[in-house]
Structure 1
Amino acid sequence: MRCRIVLAAGFLAFAAGASSAGEEECPDECIPFDVDARPLTVPQPVFPVFAAYLGLGGYCEVRFSVTPDGRTTAIEPACSRPAFCDSAARAIGEMRFKPAERGGKRVLRSNVVAPLTFLLDGMDQAVVEAQPLRGCVDPNIS
């Protein structure tokens, strides 16, 4: 049985917006970046052995921040099956980025989302990705 992990071509990034309609103030988080964070490495998640043994596929969206030194922090996976939480969180934790810049300075880039799909041969990717996501409270024990 072959396992494969599908990585999206790009990361989804969400900028913070005004908290309510009609509010005119814009916090620093919604000011555009001169240069947005870009991955220097590709995530290398490991397909959980017991999930493969049970014939389980899964889909995760991992929300995180990129620090001014290009490391990931505040990693919060949400997965269709808890079996994939740890692998998704570890893979994103090992990634390195070219940090975002604003005004010529490296800055924190928050609310970056990386989608990861865990598939076994013969699985329909669309079906696996349609499963509802649940937050992973603690990826080490979920």
Structure 2
Amino acid sequence: MKRNATAVWNGSLKEGAGKLTTQSTTLKDTQYSFKSRFEEGVGTNPEELIAAAHSGCFTMQLSAYITEASFEIESIETKCDIDLVDGTIITSHLTVNAKVNGITDDVFQQLVTKAEKNCPISKLLNAAISTTATLA
């Protein structure tokens, strides 16, 4: 499976603006800018999108492990906080609130740890990065 998204940027860093579009078009020409990233502005930003990806991926992975362990899930809510310091993402913290019938806290915590280590976005945050660039 391969997925993609496209970013288009026009102008300088501080005065310019960009648009993001995902393959599914869930995001279509979604605004992002210096202000939406570092100040208060309309649109999204890369760190917010990473937080959404990590919380969504982790939650799906956790639900798979809970289901595999034969427990019934009422709900799982995961918030992800991304910390960007001096141009580097230094942490991704997941806060999970779940309602799962019949599970003990010990088993739940074990499954949370397993999901944290094994969801694809957790793995990505330690991944090798490659680039292909063409100057037009």
User: What TM-score, normalized to structure 2?
Assistant: 0.35
Higher CA-based Rg: 2
Higher RCO structure (Cα 8 Å, ≥6 apart): 1
Return the TM-score normalized by structure 1.
0.34
Structure showing the higher helix proportion among its residues: 2
